[in-house]
């Protein structure tokens, strides 16, 4: 079974690389199979790691507890399990997504969408404030405090000053309430230079990441696949 798996993986890998020549039936087959398998796997994961533990299990336990309660055999555990009945509300709201399939009732989809958007906005505000704004500002300013305490090397001091200047100039570039002329224009130009270095670094890292994957796939074909033949 392991060798069969290596062969399947290798043939699919070659099917995808065949696109480097041009679009062809082998590539299209692999591409569509990839879409099908990926979508299927994401459904399985979502149901097994999200829906079943969070909604299905509490609801079914609550139904059992309700039966016990009706028979008059209630215990503190069954009373607690009854709270799972409230899961019927998010399930009902989630089912409203399917209202889109009916043109007349399609407006009902606004309810789950509005809840999810409100939910994500509510999560975003404190977390973004904490993780992105406070932490990034803290990370930029902390070296200056260390500098003041005299516990930094010259290299680190230059680095911290450079980061501070770069950050201010980059922010000035994105500040459109003032016309970019005179000193603001110059600072904004320095900001562009920092941004270009950032984009160049991101590009270089992306290329190297993809090349590492290419080396890995080539290594797989040469060592694992050809290893099963020769």
Partner 1 sequence: MKRQGPLALCFLFGIALIFTQFSPHSVSQKLYEEVIDWGLIITPFALVLAVVTLIETHITRVRRRTEHWQYSLVVFVGMAVMVLIGIPFGPQNSIVEWLYNNVQVPMDATMFSLLAFFIASAAYRAFRARTFEATLLLVTAMIVMIGNVPVGDLAWNTVLSWIPLEDGASKARQWILDIPNLASRRGIILGVSLGVISQSIRIILGIERSYLGGGD
Q: Which two tokens stand for residue 126?
A: 């404190």
Task: Report in angstroms how near the CB of residue 31 gets to partner 1 at its nearest.
Answer: 8
Instruction: Please name the helix (run of DSSP H) or strand (run of DSSP E) that holds residue 52, with its range, or none.
Output: none
User: In this structure, what are the phi and psi dihedrals at residue 175, rounded to the nearest 5 degrees?
Assistant: -95, 105
Task: Report in angstroms how near the CB of residue 128 gets to partner 1 at its nearest.
Answer: 5
Which C-beta is closer to partner 1: that of 68 or that of 82?
A: 82
Which C-beta is closer to partner 1: that of 132 or that of 222?
A: 132
Which C-beta is closer to partner 1: that of 91 or that of 226?
A: 91
The Cα 110–Cα 116 span in angstroms is: 10
Token look-up 């020769």 returns 230
Q: Sign of torsion, CA 23 27 32 38? A: negative
Residue 68 C-beta-side C-alpha neighbours within 13 Å:
16
Task: Report in angstroms how near the CB of residue 15 gets to partner 1 at its nearest.
Answer: 9
Which C-beta is closer to partner 1: that of 146 or that of 205?
A: 205
Task: Report in angstroms how near the CB of residue 110 gets to partner 1 at its nearest.
Answer: 4
The Cα 216–Cα 13 span in angstroms is: 12
């Amino acid at each position: 079974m392991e060798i069969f798996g290596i062969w399947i993986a290798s043939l699919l890998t070659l099917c995808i690389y065949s696109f480097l020549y041009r679009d062809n039936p082998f590539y299209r087959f692999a591409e569509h199979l990839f879409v099908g398998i990926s979508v299927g796997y994401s459904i399985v994961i979502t149901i097994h790691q999200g829906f079943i533990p969070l909604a299905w299990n509490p609801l079914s336990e609550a139904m059992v507890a309700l039966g016990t309660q009706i028979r008059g055999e209630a215990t503190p555990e069954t009373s607690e399990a009854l709270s799972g009945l409230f899961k019927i509300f998010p399930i009902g709201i989630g089912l409203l997504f399917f209202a889109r399939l009916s043109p007349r009732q399609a407006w009902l989809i606004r309810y789950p969408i509005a809840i999810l958007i409100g939910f994500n906005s509510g999560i975003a505000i404190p977390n973004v404030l904490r993780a992105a704004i406070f932490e990034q500002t803290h990370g930029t300013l902390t070296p200056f405090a260390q500098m003041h305490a005299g516990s930094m090397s010259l290299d680190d001091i230059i680095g911290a000053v450079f980061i501070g200047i770069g950050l201010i100039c980059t922010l000035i570039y994105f500040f459109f309430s003032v016309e970019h002329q005179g000193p603001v224009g110059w600072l904004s130009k320095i900001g562009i230079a920092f941004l270009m270095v950032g984009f160049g670094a991101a590009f270089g890292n992306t290329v190297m990441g993809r090349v590492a994957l290419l080396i890995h796939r080539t290594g797989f074909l040469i060592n694992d696949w050809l290893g099963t033949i020769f």
